[in-house]
Chain A
Amino acid sequence: MELILALAIGVMVGSGVWLILRPRTFQVIIGLCLLAYGVNMFIFSMGRLYVGAAPIMPRGGFVDPTAYADPLPQALVLTAIVISFATTALFLVVMIAARGATGTDHVDGKERDQ
């Protein structure tokens, strides 16, 4: 499971980094989304990997903490997802505005040979 997760994070971050270095705004935003997915999975894995373990302990009394997943990274990742989703949406709006304003989808607002 660790290997699959690590590969998944690596592939997503690698593709994301390649894409945000591309000149088209569409590529940049897809790259940022992939990077955000990779980062979110990375945060999630920082609570260690559990299979079939609940993050919330039942009420009352002491229970064995090793039988439960760490709830904190799950809370963190939720916040991170919401924030990166919102800012990416805002970025998308600015990109559409830039497309309308400059007439090109190049990140510099002009084609290289112009």
Chain B
Amino acid sequence: MTPETTFVPGHILVAPILIPLVAGALMLFYDDRHRQIKLGIGLAALAALFLVSIELIVRVKGAAEDNGTLVGTYLMGDWPVPIGIVLVLDRLSAMMVMLSTLLAIPSLIYAAAGWQGKGQHYHSMFQFLLAGVNGAFLTGDLFNLFVFFEVMLAASYGLMLHGSGVDRIKQGIHYIGINLAASLLFLLGAGLVYGTTGTLNMADISRVVPGLDGAQRQLFHAAAAFLGIAFLTKAAIWPLCFWLPPTYAAASPPAAASFAIMTKVGLYVILRLSTLIFGEDAGASAGFGGPALILGGIATIAYGTFGVLGAQGVATKGGHMALISSGTVLTATGIAVIGGGQQILTGALYYLIGSTIAVGAYFLLAETVARDEKEHSDDDDDGREPEPDYIADRWAPMMGTVEDEAAPAIGRTGSWTAIGISFAVLAVIIAGLPPFPGFIGKFAMLSGAIRDNAQVTGMIPAVIWAYAGVLIVSGFAVLIAMMRIGIRRFWASETPAPRILALEIVPVVLILAMIALQTVKSGAVLSYTEDTASALLTPSVYRDAVLSAPVVGPHEGMEQ
């Protein structure tokens, strides 16, 4: 037996996957009528996840004194590293697990205001989505990443279709179709990576890559490109992003809010793999894909900018805001990969936290803001849908759906003014005006990039200028778009204020409080992301820690 002190700390690493998985499975024992029990289990699981992610961050920061980086590993089944699957916790993955939990809590509270009753198994699918997302953040194995991607996607298909209706089914076909195709590209890429490097462990791949010979290297680059297309489809880079705005607009608001983390899973993998495998010490492969990320990222921001101004519908605009957020981080990643310095990555990670939860809050607000805008949508929860939802009605008895027509848990109505104020604050946050994280993040990125490059070469490369330009213009466009919605809905509105439940405002206020906290604690968050960025740009830290991960159990026992 191993002593408890070295054994227990490892197990907390698998908790972010196990907690939602067990909670989601537990809920299946209850009928859909016991929705409050399911909600209770879900909230308890999220509370546990929140505590675990705090603990993970504390542990990752714990070794800040000794050289600034700690990489925790957890060997599945105690198989030694390149052979078995390994879970890896470093600063980036701890941050992302925290982010997914922070977004999940408001989204689940919002679902309790009524959306949980619009179909079956909302809570289970929500937990499975979290399990997939957290697994993707923690795994250190390429094929295991594929499996967690599929867990996440399978749950997201269900969540996307939650509530049914013609609109959702039509968009669902596009969403599922494009994701299935992207998954096949993922498989092609993973297979080719195994064929060229002989391993699927990310750290091991990055060890092997510098030594590849010419022909193998070209095949490996092809594999990386396949994988890149799969991840960038998820992260919605420009030519692969047309599915996102209509899908997120068609999904129910709490589902759309939790989908905001899914584009970030694609971003996370791009960040992780391009810095790990194509970092400075990758030999002839260093910087591979960087230019594509920069061009695609800038195009994504531009497309999102036009979309925010041009698209109709409050929620569709939100989809384009998600694109802008995605493009911003992708471009910064590309610049960092081709050697643009650590500062830009620091700012980008800071921006990522704030913009993800802000876009999530926007989706939660979008439906309430658009509610009752069309006169015939009084009895329909979805203001965008012109037709009555006859499909769900027809199928409901067949599928045993329990509709929640009665008022939800807390029937207390909230005030339209609170919605208006939250919307205005959110506009300032997403547009990136001071003092909120959007501004601080963009400022940190741009000033850092200018400082880093001016020190090295004495001049600022054109790509930084282009980046600065689109960032500022996109922020301005978001501000105009949100002001137009605000004026139409809150100042010059002719329709009486719709009935708003307090439970629909609470999650938005919660997110705004988180963003306020991030603003106040900017120094601490920025120093965390700075260490994260420096660890990402020093891939040897991650690689050495994973490859030397100690086997826990008594090894001789395995022979028998």
Task: Kindly list chain A residues whose C-beta atoms are within 8 Å of the C-beta of B451.
Answer: none
Give the distance in Å from the alpha carbon of A90 to the alpha carbon of B180 in the complex: 11
Complex Cα–Cα for A46 and B200 (A):
12
For B184, what are the chain A residues with a Cβ–Cβ distance below 8 Å?
32, 35-36, 39, 84
Identify which of B25-33, B153-161, B372-380, B489-497 touches chain A.
Answer: B153-161
Residue B476 lies at the interface, judged by CB distance under 8 Å to chain A: no
Output the least CB separation between B410 and chain A (Å).
Answer: 33
Name the distance in Å between A24's Cβ and chain B's nearest Cβ.
11
Most B CB contacts (10 A, CB to CB) among A73, A95, A97 go to A97
- Quick one: given A39-B184, A107-B174, are A83 and B157 in contact (CB under 8 Å)? no
CB distance from A64 to the nearest CB of B (A): 18
Looking at the assembled complex, report how far the CB atom of B496 sits from the nearest CB atom of chain A, in whole angstroms: 32
Contact across chains for A39 and B191 when beta carbons are under 8 A apart: yes
Query: A79: which B residues are within 8 A, CB to CB?
Result: 143, 147
Max chain B CB contacts within 10 Å: which of A25, A36, A40, A76?
A76
Q: Does A87 contact B (CB under 8 A)?
A: yes
- Say yes or no: A42 contacts B188, CB within 8 Å: yes
The stretch that binds A, out of B92-100, B111-119, B164-172, is: B164-172
User: Is the CB of B386 closer than 8 A to any CB of chain A?
Assistant: no
How far apart are B147's CB and chain A's nearest CB, in angstroms? Answer: 7
Decide yes or no: A46 and B187 within 8 Å by CB, A20-B177, A108-B170 being known contacts.
Answer: no
Q: Could you tell me how many residues of chain A have their Cβ less than 8 Å away from some Cβ of chain B? A: 35
Given contacts A20-B181, A87-B180, contact A102 B147 (CB under 8 A): no
Cβ contact of A46, chosen from B161, B164, B166, B194, cutoff 8 A: B194
Docked CA distance A100–B184 (Å): 28
Task: List residues 45-86 of chain A with CB under 8 A from any CB of chain B.
Answer: 45-47, 72-73, 76, 79-80, 83-84, 86
Interface of B is mostly: helix
Question: Which residue in B147, B170, B176 is a CB contact (below 8 Å) of A90?
Answer: B176
How far does the alpha carbon of A103 sit from the alpha carbon of B170 in the complex, in Å?
11
Interface SS of A by simple majority: helix
Other-chain residue from A32, A43, A72, A109 in contact with B170 (beta carbon distance below 8 A) = A109
User: Which of the residues A25, A76, A87 comes within 8 Å of B183, measured between beta carbons?
Assistant: A87
In the complex, whether A5 has a CB less than 8 A from a CB of chain B is no
Interface assignment of B192: CB less than 8 Å from any CB of chain A = yes
Whether B191 lies near A76 (C-beta < 8 A) is: yes
Give me the interface of B with A, judged by CB distance under 8 Å.
143, 146-147, 150, 153-154, 157, 161, 164, 166, 169-170, 172-174, 176-177, 180-181, 183-184, 187-188, 190-192, 194-195, 200, 391
23 contacts between A and B (CB under 8 A): A32-B181, A39-B188, A39-B191, A43-B188, A43-B191, A46-B191, A47-B194, A73-B191, A79-B147, A80-B146, A83-B146, A83-B150, A83-B183, A87-B183, A88-B180, A90-B154, A90-B176, A91-B173, A94-B157, A97-B164, A97-B169, A98-B170, A101-B166
Residues of chain A touching chain B, judged by Cβ–Cβ distance below 8 Å, are 20, 25, 28, 32, 35-36, 39-40, 42-43, 45-47, 72-73, 76, 79-80, 83-84, 86-88, 90-91, 94-95, 97-98, 100-102, 107-109
The 6 closest A-B pairs by CB, nearest first: A46-B195, A43-B191, A109-B170, A46-B191, A101-B166, A98-B169
